[in-house]
Structure 1
Amino acid sequence: MILNEYARISPVGDSAIRIEFGKDIDLTTYHRIQIFIKLFHDAKINFHKEMIPSFASVTIEFDAITIMRKIAEQHTIIDINPYDWVRQQIEPLLTQEVNELVLEKTIIDLPVCYGGEYGPDLQYVADYHHMTVEEVIKKHGEAEYLVYMLGFAPGFPFLGGLNPEIATPRKQAPRLKIEAGSVGIAGSQTGVYPIETPGGWQIIGRTPIDLFRPEHKEPTLLKGGVWLRFKAISVEEFNTIKGGLANVDHMR
């Protein structure tokens, strides 16, 4: 595989560069991104401030002033801008012949209490698809979901793998308050709210597990590249877990 066959490079403002590897949310594009990240780190390139992977691209932030100094050290006449210089560092990585990565599959089971006060939109989702709530719960829980990235709120996982049979549009009017742990559906995606926040996803359940724990060394339970499964639990089990667990390290 040669990544250059799929990569599209473009500037993001005056201090970042984006490399797109596809247009779709799928495992093929995800693997291309992971290969590029490995190549980048293996090359020990250190001009960047931050690397931000997403569904289909990687954005690399850099310090334009620092790079201008590097350019000045290398050129008698400064005839190149920071973006072009960064692009020149990246392009050789994209032309290397590389093999597919074998990625370790780590699966986390997340307990979810569906419906009732914890899933006020479950009935709506069922009615929208002319299903029973039991069918929606089954279809939502039988899949394995890849965490493509975290975003929107600290520890919020953007997941791929939702059964298209239960894909449901966002609410027309977002709620001003969604409880932490709420599990929702928005279009072809499902996700979990790690903190209390406004939001427009259709809420079908809630987990008693804290996804964002700022007091921990690793504050987010999930990270990009792990897989998630939802396990249906009762209200009684929800209350037992919520009241009895000080941490969830055993879930890793």
Structure 2
Amino acid sequence: MNVTFNIAGDQSILVTFSRQHIRNETSKSVRKLAELVEQKKVVGMEEVILGYSSLLVHYNPMKITYESMLQILKELLQQIDLSKREQTNQVEIPVLYGGALGPDLADVAHYHNLSEEEVIRIHTTPSYTVNFLGFTPGFPFLSGLSSKIATPRLANPRARIHAGSVGIANNQTGIYPVISPGGWRLIGHTPITLYDPQRNNPFLLSPGDRVTFKAITKEEHDQLIRQQQGGDSYI
């Protein structure tokens, strides 16, 4: 396993795994190391931040030295066993595709010389992997998108995107959990809440989870909104 360790400021270590595109094995190694670090409960270790091929480990230099933290990481690295099955959840996300909350669906279809229905079919076919959460609280970066609908980000990001918006950016797909700016191509919207700070576990999804998308009608979408929020339709 080709891994490098780099100093990232005065209280962080960046662990980088060899990467060829977005490989499931690399992403799984990142998740396994993060899990081992958190399980060990190292005094002075404060936070781990996952990426596709890297893990940023924040530590308190007043409680643990760089050398000690580095040695612990190297030891934990030897304990990674990719043959063990991950304990993950399978989550189905209902999506209303197109319309006012999927304004880029037509552009994605045009970019690939497909119909909107074909884009929806292709997007709802795979089982995606949550590689990590980031950008905003609970934003899942999902790998597994078909190259048939991989589409570049917008040249000019939007200033405000609805929570629940489902988007595509290059060979990734993801869901905006909160209102935020963003440059992903929006193809639909889910009424499911991905981030709720009032819950004991505020995040619906976790790294390693498997996600599938299911196309729903506007009526089903609005009904789910009323059930979850007791409010009216976004549209």
Contact 2:14 2:56 in 1 (8 A): yes
Structure 2: which 5+ residue stretches go unaligned? 231-235
Question: Alignment partner for residue 145 of structure 1, among 128, 145, 148?
Answer: 128
Answering whether residue 131 of structure 2 is matched by residue 182 of structure 1, we say: no
Structure showing greater radius of gyration is 1
TM-score by length of 1: 0.84
Structure 1: which 5+ residue stretches go unaligned? 68-81, 248-252
Which stretches of structure 1, 4 residues or longer, exceed 6 Å deviation after superposition? none
Q: Cα deviations across residues 79-128 of structure 1 (Å, max 9, x unaligned)?
A: xxx32332223223334585622113421000000011121110000000
Q: How many residues align?
A: 229
Change (3 A) 1:124 1:228: same
Answering whether residue 91 of structure 2 is matched by residue 108 of structure 1, we say: yes
Change (3 A) 1:94 1:85: same
The residue aligned with 2:32 is 35
Change (3 A) 1:218 1:95: closer
The residue aligned with 2:2 is 6
Displacement of 1:188 in angstroms is 0.8
For 1:103 and 1:133, the matched residues in 2 are separated by 35
Letter of the 2:45 partner, please give it: H
Change (3 A) 1:174 1:99: closer
For 2:67 and 2:197, the matched residues in 1 are separated by 38
Contact 2:163 2:176 in 1 (8 A): yes
SS of aligned partner of 2:71: helix
Change (3 A) 1:139 1:187: same
Change (3 A) 1:43 1:49: closer
For 1:96 and 1:233, the matched residues in 2 are separated by 43
Change (3 A) 1:38 1:197: closer
Write the mapping of 1:1-252 to structure 2, written as runs, cut at 5 A.
Answer: 5-23=1-19, 24-41=21-38, 43=40, 45-67=42-64, 82-95=65-78, 98=81, 100-245=83-228
Change (3 A) 1:98 1:126: closer
Displacement of 1:66 in angstroms is 2.1
Letter of the 1:93 partner, please give it: L
For 2:91 and 2:18, the matched residues in 1 are separated by 27
Normalized per residue, the structure richer in helix is: 1
SS of aligned partner of 2:62: helix
Displacement of 1:13 in angstroms is 0.5
Letter of the 1:221 partner, please give it: L
Q: Cα deviations across residues 136-181 of structure 1 (Å, max 9, x unaligned)?
A: 0000000111111111111111111000110001111111111111
Contact 1:182 1:206 in 2 (8 A): yes
Once superposed, what is the RMSD of the aligned Cα atoms?
1.9
